[in-house]
Structure 1
Amino acid sequence: MQRVCLALPTMRPCPETIVELAEEAAYAVANFEVEVHLLILDTTEGEEFARNADAVATLAPVAGVTVHHLGNEEQRAFFRKVAEDSGAADPALLLELMLPENAVAYGSCVNRLFLGAAALGCTSTHLRNDDADFQVVGGEKMFSIHHELLSIGKPAGEAVAGVTRSELDPADADAPVMLVSGAFIGELCVDISEIRELDPDIYREVVRLWAPPVWSDEEKDAMVELSFKGGGDTAFTTDESVLGVPDIWDVYMCNVALDHRGYEVLPLLPATETIGSDYALHHAMVHAKMPGVVHNRHIVNYYTPERRTDAGFVAYQMRFVKFLLSMLYLYPVYGQMIDLGRGMMDERNVLRVEPILELVRGTFDWDRSGNEHCLDVLDGCYRKLGGKYAGIADLVAERRQELLDEAQADAELWALLIENWAPMVAAARANGLGTVASASQVPSA
């Protein structure tokens, strides 16, 4: 029986989300021949953690579903053991890359889920966010796992039967479906909508900084129109799914299933306080032209209350700034991934790490002038907006050299993690999650 990991990273109390994902897990075992491990990696503390633990404790047992709720202490014990058992020269550094203290790391939290899935013996990971709801039609929730389990990991030729349209190249019939993704509707996935409301021209100038510098003005403007909107405001009416090589613009980390033959090879960028650091694996799979499925069971994105606080505003804007700076090191990798294409996969349809690692290493000494220009443009834009945005400009100016250095260091640390990833996956699989004591773990019925 297929064993899958329904995965939730969280840094806030989200009892309602936990209940919804338990419902999604129950739906999966009721409709597919699968065993589901709902893995919640929770970095809250105290009363906030207790709220999530209470939600887990009140879940009704469901045959075929096992819920694992791991807090900071349990996670640190597990990932320390994995780092030590991997044989790495500096296991303490690997632990910091997996579970940084006092910092948000979007790629790292997903990397932890990948190792957790390996420890549980799962063949796929189904990623969800704690700031989204499922759409409801006729009183029924439109669970993404419906489309995911129809296709993930199957030979693409078999997956044709589970989609509404196929664009599959017949030559790819034996290749596995490596990813299945929906999008989102609701608020922008990046919290810069207020900039668009205050000054659409400044919004356009800021978002254009995300585009590859070699693109034309027309291409950059087209990117601005697409960026951060997901599925727009189109509500679900009836299932639609397409099998083929997905467009990178149709793949979203907040609503995706990934096959282990990808994530057990390539970890995500472990950059701290940097949005968008969790998309490198998507690029590898899409640019390798492996089959995937795109569907329309989009989740509903919403902004959590802390984003509207003064501290939340500053934190998120700085994460956005670091995201823009990271592109200097990521775009050369993504562009050369396109050139490599199928060369990133071996004869067993498993992602090859060696060529990707060489691409990452090749960015270490990249000319920083592009990032200098990026910070200059941001400074001008934020000062034009004034008010709290001028405060962000002051903070960026104060931290300018630090931010430039961190962007380069992030690329170097990513390469280090890639080098050590295979033995870490092996160590996680060998240890299993059974070695981690968790009072919140709920066994299946």
Structure 2
Amino acid sequence: MRRICLALPTNRSCLPAISALHDEAAYAAAHFDVEVHMLVLDSCGAEAFARHAAAVGALPSTPGVVTHHLGEAQQRDFLRAAIGASGADKPDLLLDLMLPEALSYGACTNRAFLVAAALGCVSVHRRDSDSRYQELAGEAGQDGGGRDGTAPGAAFPIHHELLTLGRRAGDAAAAVTATDLDPRHADKPVSMVGASFVGEMSVDIAEIREIDPDAYHEVVGLWAPFDWTAERKREFADDSFRGAGTEPFTADHSTLTHVDPMRVDMCNIAFQGVQEAVPLLPATDTIGSDYFLIHLVHDATLPGVLHNRNIVNYYTPERRTGPGFTAYQTRFAKFFLSMLYLNFVYDRMERAGASLLDGQHRVRTGAIVELLWESSRLDQTENVQRLDVLDRVYRSLGGRYAEFADVLADSRERLLDEARRDIEEFAVLTEVWPALVRGARTAGPALLQRQPD
């Protein structure tokens, strides 16, 4: 029986998400030969944390499901032990990169990767606290009748993830609806299974599009490489942050392929193997910092499965008013600045292709480290231009966007410096990542071990 980790990082109250996650864990344990370690990594304040602890404690006893609810104090103890066992230099820096004081989408998922390794889990299945599962005929995720022939059950993403993840691609082909994978990749393992979301955009910028569509296209186009044509950037902007649209789930469909990074989302993803070779960008206050492995799997020619059990996305109100608006727009701006470096790395990874893998089809960590350090030496002129565009466009939008432009203007040099430092720290973390995974396996079990119900 293999162990898997179904992970939910959160920094907000999310009782419905915890309950739904347990439903998905129970489904997996009932339908597959797995022991599911349901992991809630909790960075909430005391009040919300206590509510979460009570909710996890009250979950029904379920064969094959083990629950873990870890606050930041427990996570810090675990990380100190794992870092110590790894023998890596600069343990204080590594602890800061793994558990920073500020919000970090990449760091919280990196912690899930290490905890999963400590628990002996071969795969990590990530969900988000501000999303929920689709329903069919009023029942949460009733099965739409997939090719695999399973009895009606939940339309949880883990269904497709466990059918194929980790299997030799040539064998996994029997468990999907379609395949467009070249037969020469048949011996490689399925390293990622994912889908997207339906509902609201993944980035809270729909208001900009409503105010001025041209401004929207210019801003979102900052995500793209600078050498793209204006037309290509506009098409890219039209396709960005939209997920799978609004189509409801009606029937299963899955494709064995090299998964297009634009078609999957980190609220609906599972990895096997690659998460122990390379971490995610640990940058703070930067949206999209957790998407690196999606690109790596694609560019390294590792097989994946794209399915259609999309998750429903929604927003918490705080990001749309007052300090929440300023904080979110800052994360959005830092995302654009990170792309100077990440677009360079993605381009080089795509050129390298299968040479990023060793003879056993495993990612060569050292090859990624070299690209990260090379990117850190890039000239920052493009990022200066990105900030110029944001300043001009946000002032043209007026209101709170113009006010945010003032905030951005006062932070220009700091943000430029942080973007470079973020990629340098990513390189540092990636260099020692395999050692941290080994350290987690060595030191972690004593801190985390619990028996299945």
TM-score, normalised with respect to structure 2? 0.95
Pairing 1:241–2:254 present: yes
Q: Report Cα offsets for 1:137-178 as digits up to 9, x if no partner.
A: 121422000000000000111111111111122222221100
SS at match of 2:256: strand
2:148 alignment counterpart: none
- The answer to whether the 8 A contact 2:276-2:434 is kept is yes
By how many angstroms is 1:54 displaced?
1.3
SS at match of 1:420: helix
SS at match of 1:209: helix
1:74 alignment counterpart: 74
2:116 alignment counterpart: 117
Question: Hey, which bits of structure 1, 4+ residues long, moved more than 4 A?
Answer: none
In the alignment, the residues of structure 2 paired with residue 47 and residue 317 of structure 1 have an alpha-carbon distance, to the nearest angstrom, of: 27
Pairing 1:25–2:18 present: no
Pairing 1:148–2:161 present: yes
Q: Report Cα offsets for 1:356-402 as digits up to 9, x if no partner.
A: 11111101221111001000010011111111111110011001000
Amino acid at match of 1:221: R
Pairing 1:191–2:204 present: yes
In the alignment, the residues of structure 2 paired with residue 40 and residue 394 of structure 1 have an alpha-carbon distance, to the nearest angstrom, of: 38
2:149 alignment counterpart: none
Amino acid at match of 2:7: A
Pairing 1:444–2:443 present: no
1:135 alignment counterpart: 134
Q: 1:313 aligns with which of 290, 315, 325?
A: 325
Amino acid at match of 2:49: F
By how many angstroms is 1:422 displaced?
1.1
- Aligned CA RMSD, in angstroms, stands at 1.1
Amino acid at match of 1:413: E
Amino acid at match of 1:365: R
In the alignment, the residues of structure 2 paired with residue 342 and residue 89 of structure 1 have an alpha-carbon distance, to the nearest angstrom, of: 31
Pairing 1:277–2:276 present: no
Amino acid at match of 1:26: A
User: Within 5 A, what are the aligned runs for 1:314-393?
Assistant: 314-393=326-405
In the alignment, the residues of structure 2 paired with residue 433 and residue 69 of structure 1 have an alpha-carbon distance, to the nearest angstrom, of: 15
In the alignment, the residues of structure 1 paired with residue 287 and residue 319 of structure 2 have an alpha-carbon distance, to the nearest angstrom, of: 14
For these two proteins, the number of residue pairs brought into alignment is 439
In the alignment, the residues of structure 1 paired with residue 391 and residue 236 of structure 2 have an alpha-carbon distance, to the nearest angstrom, of: 22
Q: Report Cα offsets for 1:218-266 as digits up to 9, x if no partner.
A: 211110110000001111110000002111211221100101x201010
TM-score, normalised with respect to structure 1? 0.97
SS at match of 2:223: coil
In the alignment, the residues of structure 1 paired with residue 45 and residue 234 of structure 2 have an alpha-carbon distance, to the nearest angstrom, of: 43
In the alignment, the residues of structure 1 paired with residue 303 and residue 297 of structure 2 have an alpha-carbon distance, to the nearest angstrom, of: 9
Specify every segment of 5 or more residues in structure 1 that has no aligned partner in the other structure, as ranges: none
Q: Report Cα offsets for 1:274-295 as digits up to 9, x if no partner.
A: 0111111111110011110000
- The answer to whether the 8 A contact 1:82-1:428 is kept is yes
**Matched residues, percent identical?**
51
SS at match of 1:362: helix
2:239 alignment counterpart: 226
By how many angstroms is 1:67 displaced?
0.5
Q: Report Cα offsets for 1:337-365 as digits up to 9, x if no partner.
A: 00000001111111111111111110122
